[in-house]
């Protein structure tokens, strides 16, 4: 393991533990510094004990670099590998084992921190057969949402990557914004080219309930939309769920075959349990998605699996237990 690989893995582990504190930031910085310095210089400094003279390398990151260079166990990392495992209940494990892919994630093309290839390699490493790349759409300017031109370029890049990564498959997709009137911020011409479309509300979350219901139902009924992303938009402890009529929304999801996403981000865990129960009662389809913005976050699916088990989501209604071919047949079917 090279020092850069060791630091990358430390960042990955802290990320899967949702550690966003000082320590995690310091390791991200140390990784940047280690990448910018020639390997020879790192080795010389490790021998001379001058790693910490580099701005951004502290005692902990210096130790990781030294141990990686020594070729033995990196003690700090070994400890972290144990401590940062994402908790999975026995019942949740049944769901996790059944998942063949992840339908929601972001790369550096929008607001993610990793390349598409790094996301793919990590998805493979945790046992997936495929993933759907769903960067943001143009309306989310803060997240560098993809214009039709950039999206077309991304689709070309994905085709090349797929040749190298086979049999693993990267399916093309997008997380489109549900605009205030329920229309989407990409046209039919763009959406029809993609393997899978997630539609999510990211703005005007405080809209009056009746209006929000109409807005969501309109998007759910759009034939290009396959998955309804993080339906309430809540941020646990920071932002209340938006209000809508769950009977209309989940009846529409069931009727139009739009899967209800079980979003696994620890700060979202969306939908909340009572709403998830209602969706189950309506016979909806589901997807259990990480919504990862980094490689470590791809390991968040257990959060949603635990919940799915708790609420009794039927396993055969979870569309990312399908093979890639079956998933594509499902997204393309006219219901």
Task: For residue 201, give the nearest of 222, 188, 183 by alpha carbon.
Answer: 183
| Piece of 41-49, 95-103, 115-123, 172-180 that binds Zn ion (CB under 5 A) | 172-180
Residues 55-94, one symbol each (x = binds Zn ion by CB under 5 A, - = not), give: ----------------------------------------
Nearer to Zn ion, 175 or 226 (CB): 175
The answer to whether 270 contacts Zn ion (rule: CB under 5 A) is: no
* H runs (alpha helix) in 17-147: 22-36, 39-48, 59-70, 75-83, 90-98, 116-125
In the complex, the smallest distance separating the C-beta of residue 257 from Zn ion, rounded to whole angstroms, is 21
Cα separation, 80 vs 75, in Å, equals 9
In the complex, the smallest distance separating the C-beta of residue 227 from Zn ion, rounded to whole angstroms, is 11
Nearer to Zn ion, 106 or 317 (CB): 106
The answer to whether 175 contacts Zn ion (rule: CB under 5 A) is: yes
Cα separation, 254 vs 309, in Å, equals 20
90-98 and 301-311 helices, crossing angle to 10°: 120
Nearer to Zn ion, 175 or 195 (CB): 175
Nearer to Zn ion, 62 or 185 (CB): 185
The answer to whether 294 contacts Zn ion (rule: CB under 5 A) is: no
In the complex, the smallest distance separating the C-beta of residue 274 from Zn ion, rounded to whole angstroms, is 21
**Total number of residues that touch Zn ion (CB under 5 A):** 3
Task: For residue 134, give the nearest of 5, 292, 9, 6 by alpha carbon.
Answer: 292
Nearer to Zn ion, 233 or 246 (CB): 233
Tokens in use for 69? 């260079």
Cα separation, 303 vs 101, in Å, equals 15
In the complex, the smallest distance separating the C-beta of residue 44 from Zn ion, rounded to whole angstroms, is 43
Exactly one of 291, 300, 313, 321 binds Zn ion (CB under 5 A); which one? 291
In the complex, the smallest distance separating the C-beta of residue 296 from Zn ion, rounded to whole angstroms, is 16
Site residues (CB under 5 A) for Zn ion, limited to 193-232: 200
In the complex, the smallest distance separating the C-beta of residue 175 from Zn ion, rounded to whole angstroms, is 5
In the complex, the smallest distance separating the C-beta of residue 285 from Zn ion, rounded to whole angstroms, is 19
Cα separation, 258 vs 100, in Å, equals 19
| Piece of 77-85, 110-118, 285-293, 309-317 that binds Zn ion (CB under 5 A) | 285-293
3-state SS class at 173:
strand
In the complex, the smallest distance separating the C-beta of residue 104 from Zn ion, rounded to whole angstroms, is 6
Nearer to Zn ion, 31 or 262 (CB): 262
Residue with tokens 């031109």: 149
Nearer to Zn ion, 200 or 222 (CB): 200
Q: Report whether 164 contacts 198 (CB < 8 A).
A: no
Task: For residue 301, give the nearest of 287, 286, 288 by alpha carbon.
Answer: 288
Neighbour order of strands in the sheet with 227-228: 101-102, 130-133, 169-177, 196-200, 227-228, 259-263, 286-289
Interface with Zn ion (CB under 5 A): 175, 200, 291
């Amino acid at each position: 393991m090279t020092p850069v690989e060791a630091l990358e893995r430390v960042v990955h582990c802290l990320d899967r533990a949702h550690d966003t504190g000082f320590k995690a930031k310091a390791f991200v910085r140390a990784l940047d510094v280690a990448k910018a310095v020639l390997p020879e210089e790192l080795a010389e400094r490790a021998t001379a004990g001058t790693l910490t003279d580099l701005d951004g390398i502290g005692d902990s990151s210096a130790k990781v670099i030294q141990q990686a260079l020594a070729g033995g166990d990196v003690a700090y990392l070994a400890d972290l590998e144990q401590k940062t495992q994402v908790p999975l209940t026995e019942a949740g494990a049944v769901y996790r084992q059944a998942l063949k892919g992840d339908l929601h994630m972001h790369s550096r093309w929008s607001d993610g921190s990793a390349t598409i290839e790094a996301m793919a390699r990590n998805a493979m490493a945790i046992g997936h057969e495929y993933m759907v790349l769903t960067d943001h759409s143009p309306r989310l300017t803060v997240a560098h949402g993809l214009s039709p031109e950039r999206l077309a370029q991304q689709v070309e890049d994905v085709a090349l990557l797929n040749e190298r990564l086979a049999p693993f498959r990267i399916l093309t997709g997008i997380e489109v914004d549900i605009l205030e009137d329920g229309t989407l911020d990409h046209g039919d011409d763009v959406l029809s080219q993609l393997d899978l479309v997630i539609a999510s509300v990211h703005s005007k979350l405080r809209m009056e309930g009746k209006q929000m219901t109409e807005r969501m139902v309109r998007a759910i009924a759009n034939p290009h939309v396959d998955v309804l992303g993080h339906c309430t938009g809540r941020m646990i402890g920071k932002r209340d769920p938006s209000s809508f009529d769950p009977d209309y929304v989940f009846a529409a999801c069931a009727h139009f075959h739009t899967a209800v996403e079980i979003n696994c981000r620890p700060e979202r865990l969306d939908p909340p349990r009572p709403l998830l129960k209602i969706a189950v009662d309506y016979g909806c389809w589901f997807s259990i998605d990480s919504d990862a913005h980094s490689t470590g976050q791809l390991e968040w699916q257990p959060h949603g699996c635990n919940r799915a088990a708790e609420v009794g989501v039927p396993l055969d209604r979870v569309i990312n237990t399908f093979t890639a071919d079956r998933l594509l047949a499902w997204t393309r079917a006219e219901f």
